[in-house]
Structure 1
Amino acid sequence: MAAPGAKTRVQAILLLALSLVLSSHVVSAFKDNEFKKCAQTSFCSRNRGVQQGQNFEIVPASLVLNTATLTATLSNKPASKTLQLTLTSHADGFVRFMVDELPGVGRYQVPGDVLVSGWETKKAAFKEESRSANQIVLSSGDARVELNFQPFTLAISVKGQPALQINSRNLFNFEHRRTKQDSDPAGYWEETWMSHTDSKPKGPEAMSLDLVFPGFQNVYGIPERATSLSLRPTNGAAPYGEPYRLYNLDVFEYLDDHPFGLYGSIPVMMAHKKGLTVGVFWNNAAEMFVDVVKPGRDTAVQWITESGIVDLFVFVGGSAPAVLASYAKVAGTTALPQLFSLGYHQCRWNYKDEADVKAVDGGFDEHAIPYDVLWLDIEHTNGKRYLTWDSSVFPNPIPMQEDVASRGREMVTIVDPHVKRDHAYYVFSEAEKAGHFVKNKYNNDFDGWCWPGQSSYLDVTSPAVRSWWAEQFTLDKYQGSTKHLYIWNDMNEPSVFNGPEITMQKDNIHFGGVEHRDNHNLYGIYYHMATAEGLKLRGSIVNPESGDRPFVLSRAFFSGTQRVGPIWTGDNAAQWSHLKVSVPMLLTLGLTGLPYSGADVGGFFGNPDAELMTRWYQVGIFYPFFRGHAHLETQRREPWLFGPETTARIRTAIRGRYAMLPYIYTLFRAANTSGLPILRPLWYEFPEAEELFAVDEEFMLGSAMLVKPVSAAGASSVDVTLPQGARWYDALTGAMVPPRTKSHRVQVTLDGIPVYYRGGNIVPRRERPRRSTAAQANDPYTLVVALDDKGEAAGSLYADDGRTFAFTRGDYLHRDFTFKGMKLTSTAHQEPGLPAGTLTLPLTVERVVFLGLPPARRGYKAVIGGKHTVPLEAGPLSMLAAQAENALVLRKPDLPVSHDWTVEIVAA
């Protein structure tokens, strides 16, 4: 989080010792023996690698094709059971494959409110291509579907290329609901892990889904875990002899290269090869294990889940942007964040009192380092009673927040889902009276242990509970809060210190009689949703006309979390390896629809030295969510505490973040409208370059900038791969990089890391050093025009009030910039399906920096509006760092941001 899940277990020991002894949870390092593996999990061990798919056959006489939907009976003859198979073609670029037991059995299905609505009715008709005694072939758009009957298999091709096969290895299985038999093996109806026994009242109901991506060597996704971008096979040496796991858990001080699942789960996988990208999403919230093997040129995957139904979306758009756009139709796009939340955040477990807050806030101004948000961890509360303040150290929370806000900054407090069992605590007493808590298997309020000691857990799967919880964030309810206070949800996996694997018992009961095993991975997103709705409610009261966009950080997540708010990668460590793995972790999140994410800069655990801190800030300025954070027991590490030289380097890095904010905010608008990622792997932008498919030590920020982190101590040089087919410019000096066919060695110093502009892009910037985003509001813009080999470039700028929902009714500015035929133009951008932007800002473009103009004997001049002439001068690329003069700069053209204009570049 303070990932309090990681926080020292000393405090937990003192609490738990009152009633029980915990042996393995109360430590400050990852121990995999505290967590289950596939072989120790009944449903996984009995399905992993077991060929049972030949038992399932389509009953030909049952087939019904009704325009866009095919239904059939799927028979399991050895078990004398039948299932319902449904295949639907959707107009938004995907095919939905479902398998369930017959109506009335009542297996759990992820509720509709986790996803978005509207896509269900947008269907695309199937065309029946052929039918025989053992096969039916359908087509819809670019997708072709072959359903074979005996045994059941399904093959999907896209644009004539094989894309996906289901049950081609006979690993499909679907365990039917049944009554208990005396001969049932151990683990079918009751299972014990350490001291915890799961009663499993519904018995075995697991499923195995057998997928093959033919001709694909690289698959990505299924976060969250600290691994490479391209998923490694799980049938190799340890630790990759163990399947990947999707089960939200509080995993403190996690390992930097391990298949173990962490705090969130997105059951989305993307496969890419030259000429084709395909994606799948299994909409299931129970515990999952995922095996990845790579026989020959294929990638084969076995997904095994404990309960629920098969509800598989296959995205057939053919490219990564198309796959993500289709997925966004189902799970939603990224909520447009408040602009302040894209600045730098300063956090520690814990800033101890109001004097500490004032000193830290003042330290940023004293050292001329910009920042936007100061955070408070669990120690600010009255005995871990959330939505309260410890009056002995925070006696005046409102004046404190108002003082920070007077300098254009905000604050964040932590609010966790465990509620201290104390009848004098209004949150507990109200929730208990209303019956708002999760129940145990005996239908009593579940009593678990977390930071406050004995705790109950809000049943946020209930709409009524979420509505009640949202009401707790209004200013009259959350005493001591102001409109400048935002929220951090931690421990929402949920974390239960004395529970199995530090989480909740699977046989606990939620709203509607649903077992926790069925919706475990949804608990975090529901808590996140409810909290965000609370801030929306508060905002609608404070500003009835336009509201206030919520900012709520969450540790746990699921598909759809992007509609709610950001996440971070949890309890990392101050190690070079954790800096390095942060990049593939964040890239993976972007490829699975959750781009607003970050990693704790400096590492949560441990004490980074000046070099590691410097390098982490230099990478962290490109994280979509940019926060420095540290554990309670670490040394203080505010950016100015590592000596003057390090302070200067960190200052330069953070100022660089603020200079990029116009570009980053514009990228977030694209994520908001189209589902596009902010950070992108190189292959996403260069999808035909096979040598880039597994590269994860470099990344693109949008389409315009390439970043190469320095992730090793003492490095004086690094190897940089600049993809072919593009022109590249050093983002510090503006110098064009000569084209190369392979990676090349670049010298580095502690002053920066290699960053490049990609030719063909126009990047908006703001370069005047300010203390916060609010202080930038009236600053002019700089445009960096990086020309491609054709002498052309394009880009855009999005702006709005940065805070409210007024943008949804058209109160925004969105401009397109184009350079072609030696003319730079500005025109209004129109996003299909959205209201045209009507916002006018009294701001200008004060500098235009041209990279890559061909040499001219007497130089160039700019003709503005066909009349005014201004010479282009050699100069530095950025006002923030005066380096070699490799750019041609148009100074003070005073081009109005809100209006059309043309600037023609001609020889002087």
Structure 2
Amino acid sequence: MEAVTPREVSVQDEAVDKSTFKKCNQIAFYRRQKLLHPGKSSYRALLESVTLSDENVKFQIIHEENKVLLQVEICEIEGNIFRLKIDEASPLRARYKVRDVLIKEPTTQRLFISQNEGGILVLSSVNEDYKLQVIANPFQVELQSKGETILSMNSNGLLYFEHLQPKPTAENEEAASDSSKETQEDLGLWQEKFGSFLDIKAHGPSSVGVDFSLRGYDHVYGIPQHTEGLLLKNTSDGDAYRLYNLDIFGHKIHDKIGIYGSVPLLLAHKPNRTSGIFWLNSSETLVDISTKAVHGLSGSAAETAKQKAVPLTDVRWMSESGIIDVFLLMGPTAFDVFKQFAQLTGTQALPPLFSLGYHQCRWNYEDEQDVKAVDAGFDEHDIPYDVIWLDIEHTDGKRYFTWDKKKFQNPRKMQEHLRKKKRKLVIIVDPHIKVDPKYTLYSQAKDKGYFVKDRNGQDFEGICWPGSSCYLDFTNPEVRKWYADQFAFKTYKGSTNILFVWNDMNEPSVFKGAELTMQKDAVHYNNWEHREVHNLYGFYQQMATAEGLIKRSSGKERPFVLTRSFFAGSQKYGAVWTGDNTADWSYLKISIPMLLTNSMAGISFCGADVGGFIGDPEPELLVRWYQAGAYQPFFRGHSNMESKRREPWLFGEKNTQIIREAIKERYVLLPYLYTLFYRAHTAAEPVMRPLWVEFPGNIETFGVENEYMLGKSSFLSFDKSYPFSYLCSKLNFYDQRIRTILPWLCFLQIPVFQRGGTVIPLKTTAGKSTEWMVDTSYELHVALDTEASAIGELYLDDGHSFQYLHKKQFLYRKFTFHKSILSSRDESGQYQTMCVVERVIVLGFGHQPTFVTACSKDGKEKEVVFTYDTKTSALTLENLALSLAADWKICVN
């Protein structure tokens, strides 16, 4: 079959509308589950079956009508985490359990049975802070903290578990009435139709679901990825949040349909308490949310509530298959929940420093000359950048791991040119493999049986960029190992160690497939159907790619891999972005809550295509997007093949100047940003975070999505109004650019403020790329709080290796300003650097000093040159030349 041309695909995509994708009421398992309405559960716990071990508590529950037994397993995990698993007691075949997402099987703590009588089982945690109360009839579980019910499971009676059954025989089918057949077909029990596509369910219906009630909570967040606001909305209109990774070109704004990636983690917050629910299931999942006011609370809170209406949020999880495996993250702070989730799924990988610089991409840079011309353009216009990207057109006929022989005749020489400029190259590697017996990758994979199979046992074939394609089965560890080997320099001809990777189209995207993705009845490793593992497909490709880049360096170099499709735990392998957005103001606006939601779900290294991938942004929109992207974790300009060229210097000198300043701001900010990524890597703290995370007791911040914090110190506003008198009155905030205290605003740029009480490390100037800035001096911005104090930190390493991990080759400094003394001290690490702190700016210093002295650890003292601006109360200390790696003090007198 001939390759699909970009123009053909573009026209095809333009014709795509929402009818290509299912609405909730077109999803059979959702329709079946929605037939079960809130009320008394049909399940009863058999508390006489309780067994207790060091690892868990087990008991059975029974459905009163069909008499099927389910096995319930409850355990406590160190750090205020509880796990509940429900599986069939005696299934016809094993049900799918998600693999590889948890970094290890969690270590459990012993629960104690403090009551098992009167139809109630009470389990107590080791420290007795928490109790789990299991009510036998109807079956439900309440999780209590110090007598207060935090959440309950199955209190609305919506536990749903389709047990596996033998396939109906031909005789049974003939005996069935026509109406019964129609009912089975309508409910999609053994097969399901959508348009012209037929999904054969070889093992029958197997969906699971249950409800959770969150007491006292009416603000819930999470379950990315959707083009929705920060706060999750009620789904009473029947439009549930869908977690099903799909390639939706030009996705719509404010839509609950699934796009690209999914993380089944939901956070609930009320003043000064945060909880989380992690639903570990990789099949298609829908989430219903309902928030209402109820009277009174159970437990000790009932006395204080005295029938006062309090919020209650019900969350109903529904998945197509698998088991119920849910982790309850009890916080009690947001940062505790982040750590608990990372304890299970891992922290954000520490990225190589270059990947935090600016990336320039489009579909597609034409050839080697085009790459060199764009590279030269950045130097000519004095704009820093680190990475140039190549899309699918760089390959030989969309055969990945190859080069177009006419356009890229000497890719190694091109990379050596970039290396001399201290820059990097990223190329695209998609999961679909062109069906071509002469293509080595295809023929090897076919011979080894490494492709996903169709339901008849043949290699699954679908249409994607190369035309007819087969799809590697990344769920197979042997395939992942083989795929990782493809990145070896001897195998991937023309590649060098400055080449990094972009995994796209890995939902997986199948142009003529049902909902533009793989058939659910396709078959993977160990005979698991695609329906079981769909949301894991991109996760596994990124895993294999990252392992390949590490392997090619003999384990010495950190990888950089960007993926479009992702799942819980993808943060361990690299970065994600929000996909095919549009050059429109609304997409710039929605990118902020989308990135905040990804960040709260553990994926700190995230971004949105600057300028919008589809269409042509007006200059003002492009300028604003650069200003926004400069203060977001992943910073890449990207555009569609049919968009006009939009290198930063093509919009007139005035706009070029503003974009240049925005990108330079990013490079000056890198020490702070890199430090935030170290905190994300070691302590699971999101780089980009909503205001409520930093101000958990102030309800005014709970729904804010057009302003956010970058770490603890920087506050960004994307609204010309400034509604939070709380921040002004309780804390000092300073404009980061002009160094004055609020409420002064600068509308020529997106306002960026530094929080009082913090120290931000910066570079004194931007270089051509991150590598050009290794020896550039530092400056500290010290923003004083109402007590005239501030603290901050700086993390530094070589920026590319694993030496920080294996040999403690890093520098971790803590800066403290207290009683007019600024001190720098070593926290840990042993990395050597010749860099110095050249300048310090103290914001909010209340008076002009008489003199300032700097004192090193060996006792040497010198007088410091300073200036004081009475209008802005900014004290500037110049020409310090204080070693970054040494302890020292500056005394302001």
From 456, 471, 474, the equivalent of 2:488 is 474
C-alpha contact (below 8 Å) 2:833/2:885 kept by paired residues? yes
Which of 24, 34, 43 is the aligned partner of 1:56? 43
Give yes or no for contact 2:782–2:790 (8 Å, CA) kept in 1.
yes
Match of 1:822 among 820, 823, 844: 820
Distance in 2 between residues matched to 1:490 and 1:693, nearest whole Å: 34
Identity of aligned residues (%): 43
Whole-Å Cα distance in 1 between the matches of residues 154 and 721 of structure 2? 48
Quote the Cα distance in structure 2 between the aligned partners of 1:115 and 1:552.
20
> Could you list the per-position Cα deviations for residues 585-641 of structure 1 after superposition, in whole angstroms to 9, with x for gaps in the alignment?
000001111111000000000100110011101110111110000000001101011
The partner residue of 1:124 within 109, 126, 131 is 109
Separation of aligned partners in 2, 1:700 and 1:224: 20
AA aligned to 2:131 is R
SS of the residue 2:398 aligns to:
coil
Give the aligned residue type for 1:39: N
Are 2:739 and 1:734 equivalent residues in the alignment? yes
Distance 1:390 1:892 in 2: 52
Pick aligned residue for 1:244 from 216, 229, 241: 241
Within a 5 Å distance, the mapping from 1:26-175 to structure 2 comes to 26-28=12-14, 31-48=17-34, 50-51=36-37, 54-102=41-89, 105-117=92-104, 120=106, 122-140=107-125, 141=127, 142-175=129-162
Q: Does 1:868 align with 2:868?
A: no
Which among 795, 798, 803 is matched to residue 800 of structure 2?
Answer: 803
- Change in Cα spacing, 1:106 to 1:327, as seen in structure 2 (3 Å) is farther
2: distance between equivalents of 1:894 and 1:871?
10
Does the Cα contact within 8 Å between 1:376 and 1:413 map onto a contact in 2? yes
Distance 1:314 1:754, change over 3 A: same
Distance of 2:768 and 2:464 partners within structure 1: 38
Show CA shifts across 1:375-413 (max 9, x none). 000011111001111111111111111101111100011
Matched residue of 2:385: which SS? Answer: coil
Shift of 1:864: 2.3
1:725 aligns with 2:725: no
3-state SS of paired residue (1:688): coil
Counterpart residue number, 1:16: none
Distance 2:63 2:723 in 1: 55
TM-score scaled by length of structure 2: 0.93
Deviation (angstroms), 1:875: 6.2
Structure 2 match to 1:194 = 195
Q: Verify the 8 A CA contact 1:229 1:585 in the aligned structure 2.
A: yes
The offset of 1:885, in angstroms, is 5.8
Is 1:592 aligned to 2:601, yes or no? yes
Residues of 2 paired with 1:132 and 1:255: CA distance? Answer: 53
Asked if the contact 1:859/1:872 (under 8 Å) is kept, the reply is no
The letter for the 1-side match of 2:422 is: G
**Residue 862 of structure 1, CA deviation:** 3.0
3-state SS of paired residue (1:300): strand
1:435 aligned to 2:449? yes
Q: Partner of 1:788 in structure 2?
A: 785
The yes-or-no answer on 1:846 pairing with 2:799 is no
Query: Where does 1:239-278 land on structure 2 (aligned, <5 Å)?
Result: 241-278=238-275
Trace 1:175-324 onto structure 2 (pairs within 5 A).
Answer: 175-181=162-168, 182=176, 183=180, 185-186=184-185, 187-236=188-237, 241-296=238-293, 297-324=311-338
CA contact (8 A) 1:108 1:518 kept: no
SS at match of 1:294: strand
What 5-or-longer segments of structure 1 have no aligned partner? 14-24, 541-545, 711-715, 739-745, 831-836, 878-883
SS class of match (1:646): helix
- Kindly provide the amino acid, as one letter, of the partner of residue 630 in structure 2: I
Alignment of 1:465 onto 2:466: no
CA distance in 2, matches of 1:722, 1:352: 52
Higher mean C-alpha deviation, range 789-798 or range 502-511? 789-798
Report Cα offsets for 1:574-595 as digits up to 9, x if no partner: 0000000000000000111111
Match of 2:354 in 1: 340
Where do residues 330-729 of structure 1 align in structure 2 (5 Å cutoff)?
330-540=344-554, 547-709=556-718, 723=727, 724-729=729-734
Whole-angstrom distance in 2 between the partners of 1:116 and 1:162: 30
Secondary structure of the structure 2 residue equivalent to 1:364? helix
Matched, 1:903 2:854: no
Distance in 1 between residues matched to 2:36 and 2:602, nearest whole Å:
32
Quick check: 2:47–2:116 contact (8 Å CA) kept in 1? no
- 2:303 equivalent in structure 1: none
The answer on whether the counterparts of 2:5 and 2:465 sit within 8 Å (CA) in structure 1 is no
Distance change (3 Å), C-alpha of 1:75 and 1:339:
same
SS across alignment from 1:54: coil
Once residues 195 and 568 of structure 2 are traced to their aligned partners in structure 1, the CA distance between those partners, rounded to angstroms, is 31
* Aligned residues of 1:9 and 1:27 also touching (Cα < 8 A): no
1:275 deviates by 2.3
Maintained 8 Å contact 1:874/1:886: no
Shift in CA distance, 49/244, structure 1 to aligned 2, threshold 3 Å: farther
Q: Deviation digits for residues 65-100 of structure 1, max 9, x if unmatched?
A: 224511100111201100000000011320000000
Per the normalisation by structure 1, the TM-score is 0.91
Q: 1:870 to 1:162 in 2, by over 3 A?
A: farther
The SS at the match of 1:506 is coil
Looking at structure 2, the residues matched to 68 and 523 of structure 1 have their Cα atoms a distance apart, in angstroms, of: 31
- How far apart, CA to CA, are the structure 2 residues paired with 1:515 and 1:627? 36
Alpha-carbon distance in structure 1 between the residues aligned to 2:761 and 2:277: 35
RMSD: 1.9
Cα distance change on mapping 1:903 and 1:106 into 2, 3 Å: farther
Contact 1:708 1:720 (C-alpha < 8 Å) held by counterparts: no
**In structure 1, distance between residues paired with 2:151 and 2:827:** 38
Assess if the C-alpha contact under 8 Å between 1:733 and 1:876 holds in 2: no
Number of the residue aligned with 2:173: none
SS of 2:544 mapped into structure 1: helix
Q: Render the CA deviation track for 1:193-227: whole Å, top value 9, x for unaligned.
A: 11110011111111121011111111001100011
8 Å contact from structure 2 (residues 845, 873) kept in 1: no
Amino acid at match of 1:35: F
User: 2 CA distance for matches of 1:608 and 1:86?
Assistant: 54
Amino acid at match of 1:245: R
Deviation for aligned residue 1:821: 2.2
How far is the alpha carbon of 1:709 from its aligned partner? 2.1
Correspondences of 1:1-20 after superposition (within 5 Å): 10-12=7-9
User: After the TM superposition, which of the residue ranges 552-561 and 783-792 deviates more from structure 2?
Assistant: 783-792
**Alpha carbons of structure 1 residues 560 and 639: separation in structure 2 relative to 1, 3 Å:** same
